[in-house]
A and B are shown apart, each in its own frame.
Chain A
């Protein structure tokens, strides 16, 4: 029996990278979106420019589930290298579309799926003479065939092509022609539509389709960042590149054509963070974007920024480790290396956005937090959020919001200040006042060092002064708990002994998993952690439940370790649910793993009389 579903299935495109498939696949995803049906596309790509396997997975979900689902209902098999595995991964009853130009042995197929052959190469060879055209248009031709098979509104596709090639009439016509080549062939030669179909819906609403890196970069624009120093590293490079584009659009002075921003591609990550620290020390809002290996390289400087109390913003778009690891695969794997970055006793503020909209919000507020707390702020993205287009609530900005520059003394304030000590805790919140170079001719200057100085920034190697400073830094970190975004809690419909803690890109899969678990009769309260240091409600949430699952995308349960360490929680009560193969976590995985453990925990209690 073939799979039957309307607006709820996963289609996977298996391609060779560098073959021009990306824009065709995106055209497919966007056309579904234009029909009002939520989609969640994901690029699974190699660290390579041309020739290696790449996949594009589009989850179509009328119900609006945006996490990866796992499994493939419809495969477009365009890569012979990965054919066997790809075909094996199709769900029973699923569909396979392949290039039938050359006959394939029967052993290469499966009996329990619907096989759809389209002679893509033959169609393109008939139509085009240039090799590059034959290659490129093959992708558009299969998208055309899909439009017939899945009943996609072809007018939406034409409109999208029109938008893409605005003002380039020739390209528009050529692409439209290729689209119809595939569509017409399918309409004429294939059963259509198949069991998987798309019906126009209104489930998208006002939502936008955006990559997390672009949204975070726009957050930096709105947060007032003027200096960006970075070093290219996947999957973060598109963040500073997006910042560049946003700035060119929004930050060029219309009268003078001069830039109200400075972006430097540094020689390495050490230099990137050094520039950020120098700029922030001098009063500009500055950031860098990097990934795990970059975080490793920045460790010494991050410690300096912590001790010297310099506001810096670091966007960490996490990927699987190590440097020669899987740079194009997603993980939440830098939690500990960021939380405790550097030598000496250090703790850093981390923010965990769940999607592009929150990446924008946190991307902007990170600069207020950095200035307020005078410390590095890490915005912890990952490849799944950063490099995939995600359906997201529209970005919003409150025009009444003013930048919070924190405790920054002006020349006038220095004139009247009774006593200035750079590391003096005047207000009891652990946050001292700071001054910028050049502020006042003879007041407020100080010499910046890591430690080895007293409350007035005078050189000393006295132990008591060092300890005093360390205690103040702890008070400051305590202050941060109430300034950072609070965890969000959603309780099950009925009272339960079980809770789940999750964060970041796990969010959509977790939301969906809750539904799956409820369907299996499991009630679970959930808490999404949005920042470190942890708000007091994290400890209470754990206290209110017998067992709390901690769902993360790393091997070692890094967030769990951080909770155990910082909240003094009995580790036995925190049950790790870990996904770390480099693919995005799925609802099926979470629900399965939690349900298995819940079943195991359902031990029939010993009867009292037998115990005594």
Chain B
């Protein structure tokens, strides 16, 4: 924990992005999480992603539930509106926010307790509705704030810090997200910022429900021998299927790689991803194969990371609902209130 107030001075020649913002413009308050917490690396990756994409910070709404992970929105994008809602219910609040204004970028940050236990239902339903969002689960397999109880993503056989062995099956959020229709699914590791940052960028550019499961070791309660969510364990068992080299805005890109090793993925909104294949077998567009691949590797104790699935075509919730292009919160009396003449007609139909 730290109580330092972030100094306001900065290097005069900090690099600026296309809209003239420096890295510092994307930061938030100083983190109060434990030193070395994986979550802080995820915050850093979010900051990096938004900076690189030149997103005006105030066009992002960041929402979270309850828990260590849900505290993190305070630590990035200080100029964005944030909402620390109730435990496990971030998805519904985010869904509502998105309904009100389809023009903002919605970043939902949650944890494994938040999304796999108390909020498992909301996690699933927000995804199946195709809410246009980036949904990040900072997954450490443990309840940190309440001092080390297992969460629902803890692997069977995993040992807690107090020596208790978990006997319950683990919920694989990536598997669920794929099954219920997320149109963008990734998994990463907070210890691998080079992998995580482009994944977040690609997810932001994606239109539809984008889900990223980030294994993020809890240094206080789940980083010991016997844990399957420790830094060492994840490093040893990490099976990276591909690597996102870069993510562009909407400009065309030149590819300069050996044929077959890189795939260029056009996203629905016109952005482009350059995907370096590390596992030649892995097809990022095949949802069913992805599910099978994940199950297969999981059974062998491997943690598959990378961009796991991206749908060729995706429509978001507003598409399903056929809502007007203007954000609903921008419609005024004129557009919304039918007036007395229409009411008189209605009255007449009820006599």
Contacts and interface: CB of A to CB of B under 8 A. Distances in A.
A447 B125 CA distance: 25
A68 B350 CA distance: 22
A587 interface: no
B149 to A, nearest CB: 20
Given A250-B338, A438-B61, A448-B83, A283 B100 contact: yes
B329 interface: yes
B336 A274 contact: no
B56 interface: yes
A220 to B, nearest CB: 10
A437 B81 contact: yes
A283 to B, nearest CB: 4
Given A208-B347, A283-B329, A229 B96 contact: yes
A308 to B, nearest CB: 8
A278 B63 contact: yes
B329 A436 contact: yes
A447 B74 contact: yes
Contacts of A601: none
Interface in A18-65: none
A262 B321 contact: yes
A229 B335 CA distance: 21
B323 A270 contact: no
B343 interface: yes
A227 B59 contact: no
Nearest to A228: B99
A437 B101 contact: yes
Contact of B92 (A208, A271, A459): A271
Contacts of A227: 96, 99-100, 328
Interface in A423-471: 435-442, 445-450, 459
Given A301-B89, A396-B343, A264 B337 contact: no
From B57, B83, B94, B101, name the one whose CB has the most chain A CB atoms within 10 angstroms: B83
B103 interface: yes
B104 interface: yes
Contacts of B124: 267
Interface size class of A (residues with CB under 8 A): 35 or more
Contact of A221 (B85, B95, B333, B338): B338
Interface string B328-342: 110111011111101
A224 B333 contact: yes
Nearest to A403: B333
Nearest to A273: B92
Interface residues of B, number: 61
Contacts of A266: 92, 125
Given A209-B351, A258-B325, A438 B333 contact: no
Nearest to A300: B86
A222 B337 CA distance: 5
A132 interface: no
B82 A281 contact: no
B277 to A, nearest CB: 37
Contacts of B96: 227, 229, 274-282, 284, 286
A395 to B, nearest CB: 5
Contact of A441 (B56, B63, B101, B323): B56
A260 B350 contact: no
Interface in B107-147: 121-122, 124-125, 129
Contact of B84 (A210, A278, A448): A448
B303 interface: no
B101 A438 contact: yes
B80 A445 contact: yes
A301 B85 CA distance: 8
B101 A274 contact: no
Nearest to A398: B340
A440 B332 CA distance: 19
Nearest to A282: B100
Nearest to B32: A459
A256 B335 CA distance: 13
Contacts of A218: 343, 346
B97 interface: yes
Interface string A273-317: 111111111111010000000000000110010000000000000
A545 B204 CA distance: 66
A266 B92 CA distance: 9
A396 to B, nearest CB: 7
B97 A278 contact: yes
Nearest to A436: B329
B46 to A, nearest CB: 15
B166 interface: no
A266 B124 CA distance: 12
B104 A262 contact: no
A251 interface: yes
A259 B322 contact: yes
Contacts of B94: 278
Contacts of B129: 264
A259 B74 contact: no
Given A283-B100, A397-B340, A274 B92 contact: yes
B58 interface: yes
A268 B91 CA distance: 13
Interface string A494-520: 000000000000000000000000000
A461 to B, nearest CB: 12
Given A208-B347, A267-B122, A448-B83, A275 B322 contact: no
A571 interface: no
Contacts of B342: 250
A304 B85 contact: yes
B337 A224 contact: yes
Given A208-B350, A271-B89, A260 B340 contact: no
Nearest to A210: B350
A273 B323 CA distance: 21
B329 A399 contact: no
A284 B99 contact: yes
B101 A209 contact: no
Given A258-B324, A439-B58, A267 B100 contact: no
Nearest to A225: B336
Given A284-B101, A436-B101, 12 more contacts: A222-B338, A271-B91, A271-B121, A274-B91, A278-B83, A278-B93, A304-B86, A394-B347, A402-B333, A440-B58, A445-B78, A446-B82
29 contacts: A206-B351, A221-B337, A222-B338, A224-B331, A226-B331, A229-B96, A251-B336, A259-B323, A260-B323, A261-B328, A263-B321, A267-B121, A267-B124, A267-B125, A270-B89, A274-B86, A277-B93, A278-B85, A281-B97, A282-B100, A283-B329, A284-B101, A394-B347, A399-B339, A403-B336, A436-B81, A437-B104, A441-B57, A442-B58
3 closest Cβ pairs, A-B complex = A278-B96, A274-B92, A284-B100
Interface of A: 206-210, 218, 221-222, 224, 226-227, 229, 250-251, 253, 256-264, 266-268, 270-284, 286, 300-301, 304, 394-399, 402-403, 435-442, 445-450, 459
Interface of B: 29, 56-59, 61, 63, 73-74, 78-86, 89, 91-101, 103-104, 121-122, 124-125, 129, 318, 321-325, 328-329, 331-333, 335-340, 342-344, 346-347, 350-351
